[in-house]
Chains A and B, each alone.
Chain A
Amino acid sequence: MSAPSEKPTPGWLAALPAAWLAVFFLVPFAIMLGVSVAHRVPGGFYEPGFELASYARFLTPFFGKILLTSVALSAGAAAICVALAFPFTVILARMGRRAQTLVLVALLAVLSLSEVIIGFSLSTLLSKTAGIGNFFAWLGLIAESRAYTPSFFALMTGLCYLALPYAVLVLYPPVSRLDPELGEAARIMGASPMRAFWTVTVPMLRAPLMGAGILVFVFTLGVYLLPQVLGQPAHWTLSVHITDQAIFQSNLPFAAAMAVLLLIVSLALVGLTLLLGRDRAGAA
């Protein structure tokens, strides 16, 4: 414990983000909780009340499957993004300073693209009339052009395109700070480059890797436009169904209940991941 006067920042400064969080997260969340138990008026809106009908409606195999689809899509995107971003970042960190800056600026530029632009660009790129199908047909790989969207592949490509920069930006600081001598020491002691990578570099970066995965997972859970543009109805995530209920069916209680459940499930999964990570780190 250090004396207050030695602290670099005054303690009350923490009150600012706390107040921010309370006003812009906790209060809306409380309203959402309140709406989720309100009484749905069929053919109208809702009136204040307390009932669990909206939650009960969700607890069916149908919505269970949708929740599972959402979680699986996001988990898949997280795994792919981390698998791509990690070697990418390691290579990036070994490049010259100027090249690093250029690549990072390009990545940041990708962040400025909205979900809408990414979705429609990809759907054009994968279309039958204007897409890569024509190129493949020209090369003679396929007999005639075909569409590659809507499909699981198209959707996953979109999700990864959207989220990859975030994974790289999370991984870049720890990777660039990594002491190269550790890897060299492993090499001197006879480890192959791959072995040094897996037994020295990866374990040291377990926390950032997990952090990047969680960020992509949570980020892609909220995506609702890409599944509509690039996916088939089977890939419509819970976010799509929440939007349908809130906007097209005027059923705010049910939409709120789904949002609350989605939040609980994603928090639980993130918590579980952190817990598993800590145990394994402790055992290692």
Chain B
Amino acid sequence: MIRRRTFLASTGAAALGTLAAPSVLRAQSGPLKIGTYGGYFEESFREHIYPDFTAATGIEVESIPEPTGEAWLVQLQQAARAGQAPADVSMMAQVPRIRGERAGLWAGLDTGAMENLGNLPEHFVHAYDDGRTYGTGAVSWFITLVTNTDVYPEAPDSWAELWDPANENRLGLLALASNSFLLEVTATVHFGGKEILATEEGILEVMEKLAEVKPNVRLWYRDEGQFQQALETGEIPMGQYYHDVTGLAAADGKPVRSTFPQEGAVLDSGSWVVSRASEMLEPSQVFIDYMAQPEVQAKLARFVGTAPTVPRELTDLTDAEFAAVSSDIAPILPQYDLYIDRGDWVNQKWTEIVTG
């Protein structure tokens, strides 16, 4: 029923738009191209978010599935050099978002035209050094400790499980320092906090500690699908993975669970940014502003399983709904500058010590 209604509403809006604007103009502008991570994310946005947005604003959306943030960043950058924008608005994880900022890839936004930005906490409104705003927090997601419920009838409660010799050859971990954030996890679990990551000696010490998990790691994955399938079958029964996708798989009846470890889950987020090559800056701003509404953030939590980027008080999420996408345990926040300013060094040492 909901689908049918939104379908009628959106076609109605499109028809109105066609009547109101000269057809040539519409042909030139085309739909607003919005990129989100391909697969489950992109499907959820296409199904639950874009139809309502089009109904509310009359702006047609073309959904673009993105590869991983880093790969998409390279594509956006190369395309922008040629004056092209494969997507106008893109959802970007924080490391590629900051890399794009350093390269001046994102278009400045007119905050005066975006009344909902005030809902977002300061750290979710991104600005260049000269003060120009260029992006906002889109969704937050947790990377948690996941297990196959057939193989592990009891839920684990600590990241320390990764080091347990009993889990030999049973783990699936993300292959890169900059998307696994295992350095932060190791520092929190074994060194009492992330302070040790301030120096190169400290980082090396953390890497040596993390290297002790190697006998337990069956798979260092780059591709999410590769691990999820192995987790569901019990082939690789434990690892780190995304809380939202795991929750959806569990809701589908798959024998998997996502646990917030007592040391905290890793809290990462995606942000909306606009390519400087985009000619659709104005509708892009309308979209970014629309997404900063508490109602839309609550809808994301219900349908996409992500944590809201606006404070919880502003939303109408119930305790149960909020608990499903977040946790009271203080999260482990990634130390993004580690992968930006020291990126090449960290990557080199990571390859030599941890995965090498």
Q: Which residues of B contact A244 (CB under 8 A)?
A: 176, 347, 351
Best-buried of A42, A45, A248 by chain B (most CB within 10 Å) = A248
Is the CB–CB distance between B344 and A251 below 8 Å?
yes
Chain B residues lying within 8 Å of A254, measured Cβ to Cβ, are 344
Do the beta carbons of A150 and B103 come within 8 Å of each other? no
Q: Which A residues touch B351, using CB under 8 A?
A: 62, 241, 244
Residue B71 lies at the interface, judged by CB distance under 8 Å to chain A: yes
**Contacting pair A248 B102 (CB below 8 A):** no
Surface stretch bound by B, among A127-135, A178-186, A190-198, A202-210: A127-135
A247 CB within 8 Å of chain B: yes
B356→A43 contact, CB < 8 A: no
Which of B99, B223, B347 interacts with A44 by CB under 8 Å? B99
Q: Least Cβ distance of B212 to chain A in Å? A: 15
Which of A43, A62, A236, A246 is close to B74, meaning CB atoms less than 8 Å apart? A246
Complex contact B77–A45 (CB within 8 A):
yes
A150 touches B340 (CB 8 A): no
B191 within 8 A of A: no
Q: Does A40 contact B (CB under 8 A)?
A: yes
Q: Which residue of A lies closest to B233 (CB)?
A: A129
Taking the closest CB of chain B, its distance from the CB of A225, in whole angstroms, is 9
Q: Does B52 contact A (CB under 8 A)?
A: no
Interface size class of B (residues with CB under 8 A): 35 or more
**A43-B102, A128-B235 known; A249-B355 Cβ under 8 A:** no
A128 and B355 CA atoms in complex are apart in Å by: 23
Question: With an 8 A cutoff between CB atoms, is A22 at the interface?
Answer: no
Q: Residue B176 contacts which of A40, A246, A248 (CB distance < 8 angstroms)?
A: A248
Residues in chain A near residue B71, CB distance under 8 A: 247-248
Cβ of B73 within 8 Å of any chain A Cβ, yes or no, is yes
B315 within 8 Å of A (CB atoms): no
Nearest A residue to B354 via CB reads A233
A247's partner among B70, B226, B343 (CB-CB below 8 A) is B70
Shortest Cβ gap from A269 to chain B (Å) = 24
In residues 201-238 of chain B, which contact A (Cβ within 8 Å)? 218-220, 222-223, 226, 230, 233-235
Query: A233-274 toward B: CB 8 Å interface, digit per residue (1/0)?
Result: 110100001001011111110100000000000000000000
B129 to chain A minimum Cβ distance, whole angstroms, is 13
Q: Is the CB of A233 within 8 A of B73?
A: no
The answer for the CA separation of A229 and B172 in the assembled complex, in Å, is: 12
Between B77, B178, B230, B235, the greatest number of chain A beta carbons within 10 A of the residue's beta carbon is seen for: B235
A33 interface residue (CB < 8 Å to B)? no
Expressed in whole angstroms, the Cα–Cα distance for A254 and B223 within the complex equals 23
Complex: how many Å from CA A234 to CA B354? 11
Query: What are the 5 closest A-B residue pairs judged by CB atoms, nearest first?
Result: A43-B340, A44-B102, A233-B355, A247-B71, A44-B103
- A and B contact pairs by CB, cutoff 8 A, 26 listed: A40-B344, A42-B341, A42-B343, A43-B98, A43-B99, A43-B102, A43-B343, A44-B99, A44-B102, A44-B103, A45-B99, A127-B230, A129-B234, A130-B235, A150-B219, A228-B223, A229-B226, A233-B355, A233-B356, A236-B355, A247-B71, A247-B74, A248-B70, A249-B178, A250-B70, A250-B73
Q: List A residues at the B interface (Cβ < 8 Å).
A: 40-45, 57, 62, 127-130, 147, 150, 228-229, 233-234, 236, 241, 244, 246-252, 254
Residues of B within 8 A of A (CB): 68, 70-71, 73-74, 77, 96, 98-99, 102-103, 169, 176, 178-179, 218-220, 222-223, 226, 230, 233-235, 340-341, 343-344, 347-348, 351-352, 355-356
